[in-house]
Amino acid sequence: MGRWPGGTQERLQEAAIELFTERGYERTTVAEIATRAGLTERTFYNHFADKREVLFPGQDVFVAEVRETVAAAPPEQSPLDAVLAAFTAGSDWFDRHREAAQRRRKLLDAHADLRERERAKVAALGEAIADALRARGLPDPAATLTASVCAAAHRLGTARWLTDPEHRTLEHHLRASFEDLRRTARTW
């Protein structure tokens, strides 16, 4: 058991989302977040690099998992299939957190600051995929271009997943987006 009440990061994240939705991102100070979580401002910065980062928990872990899954995919699998498989591998975790993801999306959409950080995360995902594809033997520029388009398809798929009134699974939307991608690419 921890010496201090555990789950510090989680408590900070919950406090942040609460306050952001209550009074908006800009009108919430880091000190307020920390206080609601029963901590101090300095402790917040011990856990998150900056104020935005509290809205992207586990993102780096996800990117690392995708990188490793793609790199470890069977050699006969096509690049696109390998990436799609890596995306769908842990997609049920997201399905179980769909509502939280929707609340988060609302916040991101409302603030350019946060969208900018999200773009950086998507870019990091793309670069991780490019690394993994190169590790699989795919040379540049194919690796870079394929990785970029996979990141774009991932973005499209999650966007549809979050707005789907029928609540179909993330895997469904990712597959559909990759299929759209293949269809569209044939017209280029």
Partner DNA sequence: CGTAGTGATTACAGAAACTGCAATCAACGT
Partner DNA sequence: ACGTTGATTGCAGTTTCTGTAATCACTACG
Q: Provide the binding-site residues for a second copy, judged by CB under 8 A.
A: 78-80, 115-117, 119-120, 123, 141-142, 144-146, 148-149, 152-153, 155-156, 177, 180-182, 184-188
Region of 74 on the Ramachandran plot (φ > 0 left; ψ -120 to 50 alpha; else beta): beta
The four Cα atoms 9, 13, 16, 17 give a dihedral, to 10 degrees, of -170
> Which is closer to a second copy, CB of 40 or CB of 184?
184
Residue 77: contacted member of a second copy, DNA, none (CB under 5 to 8 Å, by partner type):
none
3-state secondary structure of 161: helix
Where on the chain is the footprint of DNA (CB under 7 A)? 1, 3-4, 8, 28-31, 34, 38-43, 45-47, 49-52
Residue 169: contacted member of a second copy, DNA, none (CB under 5 to 8 Å, by partner type):
none
Residue 46: contacted member of a second copy, DNA, none (CB under 5 to 8 Å, by partner type):
DNA
Distances (CA, A) of 38 to 23, 33, 42, 185: 19, 9, 12, 52
Determine the Cα–Cα distance for residues 45 and 34; give it in Å rounded to an integer: 10
> Which is closer to DNA, CB of 12 or CB of 133?
12
